[in-house]
Every structure is written in C-alpha cells, then in structure tokens.
C-alpha cells in the first residue's frame, strides 16, 4: 500500500493536518486567557458577582480547550524530528534554541500555574489566584512570541551563517529573533487570537440574549465582545496591510501568488478581485479585476510597475490557486468582522445592543469566523513561501526524513482517525458548555466540594455588593 | 571556552529533563495503567483528582526533552526520531487520548466510561512506546552519513519489548505508591497490595534488563565489567539492593511517603545505570555527544536561559504541588 506515493507530499499533508488542528486551540486560548485575566481583575476591582460567574463559566471552557491545545502541541514538538529530520539537523542550531526558550519561558509558566488557576481558588485565595491567571495569560503571549519568531525566521531568515557540516548557525541572535517579518507576524497573530476569542464570546452571548435579553452574564460578555470586535477589527486590517507591505519587501513571490500576478505589469498592476488561477497556463482565468488598483495598494502609486511570476523560475513557484483563495477567504472574514463591529456600534448608539435580533444573529453566524480567518491566513503564508522551508535557502523536498511512503501514510491515517474522534468529542463538549447560560453562583472546573462561597469573595465589603449585584 | 565542555553540560541537562519527566509523568502514566484495576467511579474520581492539577506541567518536561534535544544535539534528534518513528507516533497518540480524558470525562455522563478507557489505554500505550524506544536506542540504530539508514521496523526486537514491558511495570509501581501517599481507606489498602506485587515484578524487570544489556554490544560489557571501571560501576547494583530492602521495609510498615520516594530512588539508580552504559554516545555506537552537538554559541545562548529559568520552574512547580498537598478527599460535589 502507498508504494507509489510521494513521501514528501504525505509528510507535508501530515504537518498541515496536525498543525491546522493544533493552531485552532492556541488561537482561542491566547485570547481566552487574557479575557479571563480581565474578568478576574474586574471581579477583584468591583466585587460584582457577574464577573466571577463569567470567569468560572469561561474557565471550564478554557480547561477543555487548553487540554486539547496541549496534547496536539506535544505532537508538533516531535513532528519536526519524525517527518522533517533533515530540516531539524540543518536548522536545529538556530530555531531549536528559539523553541527551547518557548518551552522554558512559556509552556512551563502556563502549565505550572494552570492547576492553581483551574482548581486552586479556594486553596490560595483570590489575590494569589489572580496572579496564577495572569501568569497563564502572560505565558500564552510569550509562547506566541517565540514560536512566531521561529516561524518568521523561516520566512525571512537573517542573522545566520553556515558551518562546515552545512548547518545553519546563528551569527547574531538578535537578528535571528527579531528578523524582518517577525514584528508584523506577531502583532497580526496576537490580534487575530483576540478577535477569534471575542467572536466566540460574542456569539455565545448573542445566543443566550436571543432567548432572554435580560440575562446579566450574556449582556456583559456580549457588550465586551462587541467592543473588542469594533476596536480590534479595524486595527487588525491596518496591521494586515502593513504585514502585506513587509511581505512585498521580503517575499515578493508570495505577494505575486496572493494577488494572482502571473504576468508582470510595466505601468500599473490591476487588483484581481476574483478569478480561477490556472497554474499550468500561468494565468488567471475569468479574472474580475480593477485596473491599477494593485499598484496603488502595494506601491501607493497607480502606475508603479510590478513584476509577476513570469520573472520567477517555474520550479520556485508557490501553489498559486491555494494561496490566492485562502488569502481572499481571510480578507473576506476580516471585512465581515469589521461590519459586525460597525453594526454593534450603531446598535449601541441607538440603545439596541441587547435587543437587536439582527445583530445577535449576525454575531452568532460570525462565531467561527476567527478560526476560519486564522486558518486561511496561515495557509496563505505557509503555501506562499513554498517550495522552501527556509525561504530561498532550504527547499521543502530537501527537508524531509528518509522515510518510505507507507510509514508516513500510516501515521497520517492514524492522526486523521484519532484527531477526528478526539477533537469532535471535544468540540461537542465545548458547544455543550456554551449552550448553557452562565448563572449566578457559577462553579469553576474544580471537582471538589466547594468550601463556603463567602471564602472566595475578594473582600468582605465586596461580598455584600456582590449579593445585590 | 576550552575549560568548559558544553556538550557534556548539555548532555547532563537533557538527561536531567528526561529524568524529571520520568519522575513526574511516570506516576501520572502509572495511574492510567492501574485504572482498570479500580472499576469504582468513586475511586477513579479520586485517582484523577490526585493528578489533574499537575499533569500538564508533568508532560511539559517531555516537550523540553524533545525541544532541548533538537536545539542542543540536532543530529541526534534528526537520527533518532525517524529511527523511533512508530513508537514515537504511538506515544504521541497515546498521550492525546489520556490528556484529553482529564477534562472530557467530567463533561459527559453517558460517555465517561469511554474516556476512562481512553485514559487507561492511552497511558499504557504511551508507556509501552517509551520503554520500547529506550530499548531501541540502547540496541543501536543504523546510521549513514547524517541520516538514519535503517528500516521501518528495526526498533522491534525482543530486547525492546522487554524494556517496554519493564517500563510499564515501573510506572505502575510509581502510580501505586503515589496512591499510597495521596489516598485513604480501602483505596490506599488496595494500592499497598498492588505495590508489593509490582515491586517484585519491577525487581525482576531490572534484573532481566541488566543481564540483557551487556550482551547487546561490546561497549556495554567493557563499560561494566572491566577493571578499573568496576570500582565505579559496582556500587550501582549494591545501591539497588539497599534501596530494595528499605522499600520492602516501608511497605511492610505501611508508611505513607517512603514507598513513592524510594521507588523514585530505584528509578534514579536504573537511570544512572543507563547513563553509564551509554556515555559518551547519544546514539549508541554511532554518534557521540560531541559529534551531535550544536555550535557553541547555540548551546551557550540556551545555557543562560536554563541556568536562570530551570530553578525558577522547579520553584513554582514545587509550589503547585504544595498547594494541592495532602490526601485527596473522595467526595465530589460537582459534576
């Protein structure tokens, strides 16, 4: 079985599959950890019971999602060695330390304080517990820092040299870590995580408001989520634009693929809105395009010349149809998020934030939009830098392990079966948790008998206030 | 720079990370292996609760072991992972099943039993795979140039099966003695009886692996049995005998804490024995730690982080265990 298959293609499929499943959970938990820290801070500050109820409500959801992120993440840390051993040997001296720092500064921090965050409120008291929540939230952000640095170095490698064995070695660690695309990618991804979480929180709030618009918890979470959508969606679009300009400077071929620019344009490139990229013929069929707008957006001048893929050797072409379409899906999601944010501002201004069924239905429909955008964005950037693992320097085909196709195919099938079984169940449990509204006296994920409730209020005075809510 | 030998320092750091992993996830996986022997829901809830706050931190050491190996000894990582391809994949999938079970089993009434099976099965598979991987490394792998050059099934031998089964027994003993320490009443009595049985099995396993290892390759025999090495190697079996006596006494006297920590001592001694056998090879018979090492500036860059962060990590890990110290109470008012 699988004898005729290409082991490299199978290894790529395996990485894409396991990575796509994994990234969904960190994207959600980065945002959710920060949201939980905000909720707990608001509870400590105001003493209002609604905040601790929301905290406990989302904490249970966080526990399930975080667990799935951890187990799918352990898989990733070994995937480099099992399927990409040549890549590991050659780049280990450079990106290995970045990932080791991620483990040391982020994973341990998250894991070390997670237990106290989930189960320890009654054991350590509110203040120390808040510290634990804060550490978990900071840990998720530090993790994003290191892993995006490593990924960005693979996209825009700087600060390296080669040794006698042909390995990449670091010549300047600061240049390796703060490589040219890293700041843009970091901002873009963290904002994406925040937006993703805000859209989920907003959808859950809207779902419960549709049934009962007077519920305290859903009102608070919906309002907070819509503020996030209204504020962060426009910032994200600006950040994405800047990231695109940075890509144009350092990975122009990726931009050609995203834009569908097979041909060079001497006096102003069009913006192709839609079309069917035809990789074999090297053109976009049925293109719907706006003349000169491409040059205007990317070069800020309508007549600026733009090179196309006809200036690039064919063996260095990325798979344009995938890059082209995933980019459009991401941008489309972003524009819908902007629309949701603007509609929420309008409804808020008219005093109808909690009453507008239209807004609530729109928010529910947008619940998964963040995940779709994150996946589409990563597919854009990862397919757009093909056929290289280290851009321009190490080809994907030269990065794989010396494995026969049957080995890679069997493990790929095993991953597909296990992930569908496990993560389908997990998503069902998550949706089930979200389907029940948060209620007064909401319990966290602790499996023990709660000690008296009074023991967990932040201050004696706050307890009285919390009771009247 | 000549004064400090960075690869040796890093060999100890990686060995330390892997050992901490074994110490922490060993009992954790052991609980999963023992799960089928505790069919009562009440007991299972206690067993899960005894480790739920810390399991994630425990498994992070495995990520450090893997990530650290890639960073400090990329060549070894690049050769060993394809060589151990199947055991590694099986271990990862096992860890997926058991990891999600910690939360999933509380989220469903109807399917709880299914996740209990996932927890037990995942733990058993992951442990077996780790033990088999250990055996497969010890027996040596076929290397050509900078790549693994063996087959897809090279890891599977009677010796690797032996190490796999041995590790299952060892982790189960760690799990049983952990339960002795963390639980009360009938559950604790059960754990005592299991500890006796498992200790005897573990001594048999240590003996079998110790006898088999020197016959795998010439290096191991010379390492252990030639003069003057024997002065340094002889204390290991002597110490194993001493710890065994203490452990038997602790079980006979029904102590709470001693059985678990003495079992850890047995693990430490076995681990030291492995180190004596392998050093200075990181891929036995093929690649030494110096051949596999990253350039000095990579190892040095990480050494700063390790020197500052590992003590910090150990500090807050101990704190987390301290917060959840003491016996786990069986009542479960929630869910």
Q: Residue A50: inside a domain, yes or no?
A: yes
Q: Residue B23: inside a domain, yes or no?
A: yes
Q: Residue B214: inside a domain, yes or no?
A: yes
- pLDDT tens for B40-59 read 888 888 888 888 888 888 88
- pLDDT tens for A403-420 read 888 888 889 999 999 999
Distance (Å, whole) CA A79 – CA A330: 27
Contacts of B333 in chain A (CB under 8 A): 448-450
Q: How far is CA A20 from CA A23, A63, A375, A426, B94, in A?
A: 5, 20, 7, 16, 20
- pLDDT tens for A12-49 read 999 999 999 999 999 999 999 999 999 999 999 998 88
pLDDT: which is higher, B303 or A122: B303
Q: Residue B87: inside a domain, yes or no?
A: yes
Distance (Å, whole) CA B310 – CA B306: 5
Contacts of B50 in chain A (CB under 8 A): none
pLDDT: which is higher, A148 or A466: A148
The partner residues of A272 in beta bridges, in order of sequence, read A289
Q: Residue A309: inside a domain, yes or no?
A: no
Task: Assess A114–B contact: CB distance below 8 Å, yes or no.
Answer: yes
Q: Residue B329: inside a domain, yes or no?
A: no
DSSP for residue A443: -
Q: How many domains does chain A have?
A: 1
Is there a cis peptide before residue B189, judged by omega within 30 degrees of 0? no
ipTM topping 0.90: no
Whole-number pLDDT of residue B149:
84
Whole-number pLDDT of residue B332:
44
Lowest pLDDT segment from B24-38, B151-165, B224-238? B224-238
Mutate to test the interface with B, among A447, A452, A453 (most CBs of B within 10 A): A447
Whole-number pLDDT of residue A455:
37
Q: Residue B245: inside a domain, yes or no?
A: yes
Least Cα separation, residue A67 to chain B (angstroms): 6
Contacts of A433 in chain B (CB under 8 A): 107
Mean of per-residue pLDDT scores for chain A: 88
Whether the Cβ atoms of residue B73 and residue B293 lie closer than 8 Å to each other: yes
Distance (Å, whole) CA B132 – CA B86: 10
Q: Residue A285: inside a domain, yes or no?
A: no
* Ramachandran area for residue A439 (φ above 0: left; ψ -120 to 50: alpha; else beta): beta
Nearest to A1 by CA among A412, A438, A419: A412
Q: Residue B29: inside a domain, yes or no?
A: yes
Whole-number pLDDT of residue A446:
67
Structure tokens at A376: 């589409």
Is residue B223 pLDDT above 90, yes or no? no
Q: Residue A281: inside a domain, yes or no?
A: no
Structure tokens at A188: 């873009």
Q: Residue A452: inside a domain, yes or no?
A: yes
The parent domain of residue A149 ranges over 7-248+322-468
Size of interface A-B (CB pairs under 8 A): 255
Q: Is the Cβ pair B334, A77 closer than 8 Å?
A: no
Is residue B225 pLDDT above 90, yes or no? no
Nearest to B182 by CA among B332, B28, B21, B333: B28
Whole-number pLDDT of residue A43:
93
Which chain B residue is nearest to residue A69, measuring alpha carbons? B100
Scan residues 393-412 of A and list those with Cβ closer than 8 Å to B: 401-404, 406-407, 411
Least Cα separation, residue A107 to chain B (angstroms): 7
Distance (Å, whole) CA A144 – CA A153: 14
Q: Residue A18: inside a domain, yes or no?
A: yes
Scan residues 298-317 of B and list those with Cβ closer than 8 Å to A: 298, 301-302, 305-306, 309-310, 313, 316-317
Q: Residue B102: inside a domain, yes or no?
A: yes
Q: Residue B334: inside a domain, yes or no?
A: no
Mean of per-residue pLDDT scores for chain B: 87
Least Cα separation, residue B75 to chain A (angstroms): 5
Q: Is the Cβ pair A71, B86 closer than 8 Å?
A: no
Least Cα separation, residue B297 to chain A (angstroms): 7
Least Cα separation, residue A448 to chain B (angstroms): 5
- pLDDT tens for B101-132 read 888 888 888 888 889 999 999 999 999 999 99
Task: Assess B66–A contact: CB distance below 8 Å, yes or no.
Answer: yes
pLDDT band for A230, please (50, 70, 90 cuts): very high
Task: Assess B81–A contact: CB distance below 8 Å, yes or no.
Answer: yes
The parent domain of residue B113 ranges over 10-323
Mutate to test the interface with B, among A22, A83, A86, A115 (most CBs of B within 10 A): A115
Report DSSP letters for B183-240, one per residue.
--HHHHHHHHHHHHHHHHHHHHHHHHHHHHGGGT-HHHHHHHHSTTHHHHHTHHHHHH
Nearest to B102 by CA among B35, B190, B192, B199: B35
Whole-number pLDDT of residue B284:
83
Give the pTM.
0.88
pLDDT band for A450, please (50, 70, 90 cuts): very low
Backbone angles phi, psi at B235, to 5 degrees: -60, -25
Q: Is the Cβ pair A169, B297 closer than 8 Å?
A: yes
Lowest pLDDT segment from A201-205, A232-236, B20-24, B104-108? B104-108
Q: How many domains does chain B have?
A: 1
């Amino acid at each position: 079985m699988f004898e005729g298959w290409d082991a490299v293609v199978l290894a790529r499929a395996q990485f894409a599959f396991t990575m796509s499943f994994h990234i969904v959970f960190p994207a959600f938990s980065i945002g959710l950890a920060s949201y939980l820290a905000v909720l707990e801070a608001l509870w400590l500050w105001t003493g209002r019971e609604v905040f601790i109820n929301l905290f406990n409500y989302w904490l249970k959801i966080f526990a399930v999602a975080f667990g799935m992120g951890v187990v799918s993440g352990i898989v990733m840390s070994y995937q480099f060695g099992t399927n990409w051993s040549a890549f590991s040997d050659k780049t280990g001296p450079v990106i290995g330390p970045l990932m080791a720092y991620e483990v040391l500064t982020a994973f341990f921090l998250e894991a070390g304080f997670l237990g106290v965050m989930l189960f320890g409120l009654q054991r350590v008291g509110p203040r120390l517990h808040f510290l634990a929540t804060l550490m978990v939230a900071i840990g998720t952000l530090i993790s994003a820092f290191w892993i995006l640095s490593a990924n960005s170095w693979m996209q825009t490698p700087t600060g390296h040299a080669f040794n006698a064995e042909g390995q990449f070695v670091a010549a300047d660690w600061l240049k390796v870590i703060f490589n040219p695309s890293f700041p843009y990618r970091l901002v873009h991804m963290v904002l994406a995580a925040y937006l993703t979480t805000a859209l989920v929180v907003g959808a859950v709030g809207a779902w419960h408001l549709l049934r009962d618009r007077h519920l305290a918890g859903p009102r608070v979470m919906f309002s907070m989520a819509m503020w996030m959508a209204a504020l962060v969606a426009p910032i994200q679009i600006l950040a994405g634009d800047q990231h695109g300009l940075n890509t144009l400077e350092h990975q122009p071929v990726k931009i050609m693929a995203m834009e569908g620019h097979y041909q060079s344009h001497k006096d102003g490139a069009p913006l192709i809105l839609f079309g069917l990229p035809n990789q074999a013929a090297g053109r976009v069929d049925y293109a719907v395009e706006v003349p000169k707008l491409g040059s205007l957006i990317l070069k800020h001048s309508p007549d600026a010349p733009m090179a196309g893929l006809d200036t690039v050797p064919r063996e260095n072409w990325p798979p344009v149809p995938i890059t082209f379409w995933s980019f459009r899906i991401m941008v489309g999601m972003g524009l819908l998020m902007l629309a949701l944010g603007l509609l929420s501002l309008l409804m808020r201004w008219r005093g109808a934030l909690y009453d507008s069924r239209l807004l609530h239905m729109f928010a529910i429909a947008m619940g998964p939009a963040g995940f779709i955008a994150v996946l589409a964005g990563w597919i854009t950037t990862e397919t757009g830098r093909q056929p290289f693992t280290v851009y321009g320097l190490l080809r994907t085909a030269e990065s794989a392990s010396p494995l026969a196709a049957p080995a890679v195919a069997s493990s790929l099938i095993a991953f597909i079966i296990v992930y569908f079984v496990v993560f389908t169940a997990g998503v069902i449990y998550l949706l089930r948790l979200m389907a029940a509204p948060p209620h007064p006296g909401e319990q966290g994920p602790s499996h023990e008998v709660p000690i008296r409730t009074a023991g967990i209020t932040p201050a004696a005075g706050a307890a009285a206030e919390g009771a009247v809510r | 720079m000549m004064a400090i030998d960075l690869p040796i320092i890093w060999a100890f750091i990686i060995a330390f990370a892997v050992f901490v992993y074994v110490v922490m996830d060993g009992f954790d996986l052991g609980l999963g292996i023992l799960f089928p022997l505790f069919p009562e829901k009440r007991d299972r809830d206690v067993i899960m609760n005894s480790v739920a706050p810390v399991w994630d931190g425990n498994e992070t050491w495995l990520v450090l072991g893997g990530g650290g190996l890639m960073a400090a000894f990329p060549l070894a990582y690049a050769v060993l992972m394809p060589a151990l391809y199947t055991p590694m994949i099986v271990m990862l999938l096992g860890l997926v099943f058991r990891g999600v079970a910690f939360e999933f089993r509380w989220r469903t009434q109807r399917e709880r039993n299914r996740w209990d099976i996932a927890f037990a099965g995942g733990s058993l598979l992951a442990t077996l795979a780790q033990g088999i991987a250990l055996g497969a490394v010890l027996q040596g792998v076929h290397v050509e140039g900078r790549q693994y050059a063996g087959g897809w099934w090279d890891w599977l031998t009677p010796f690797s099966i032996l190490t796999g089964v041995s590790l299952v027994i060892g982790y189960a003993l760690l799990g049983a003695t952990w339960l002795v320490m963390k639980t009360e009443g009938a559950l604790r009595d059960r754990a005592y009886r299991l500890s006796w049985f498992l200790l005897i099995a573990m001594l048999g396993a240590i003996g079998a692996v110790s006898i088999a290892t020197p016959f795998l390759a010439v290096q191991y025999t010379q390492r252990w049995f030639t003069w003057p090495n024997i002065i340094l190697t002889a204390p290991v079996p002597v110490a194993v005998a001493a710890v065994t006596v203490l452990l038997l006494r602790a079980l006979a006297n029904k102590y709470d804490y001693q059985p678990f920590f003495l079992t850890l001592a047995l693990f430490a001694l076995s681990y030291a024995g492995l180190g004596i056998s392998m050093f200075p090879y990181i891929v036995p018979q093929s690649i030494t730690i110096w051949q596999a090492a990253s350039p000095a500036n990579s190892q040095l860059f990480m050494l700063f982080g390790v020197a500052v962060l590992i003590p910090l990590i150990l500090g807050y890990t101990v704190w987390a265990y301290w917060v959840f110290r003491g016996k786990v109470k069986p009542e479960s008012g929630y869910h």
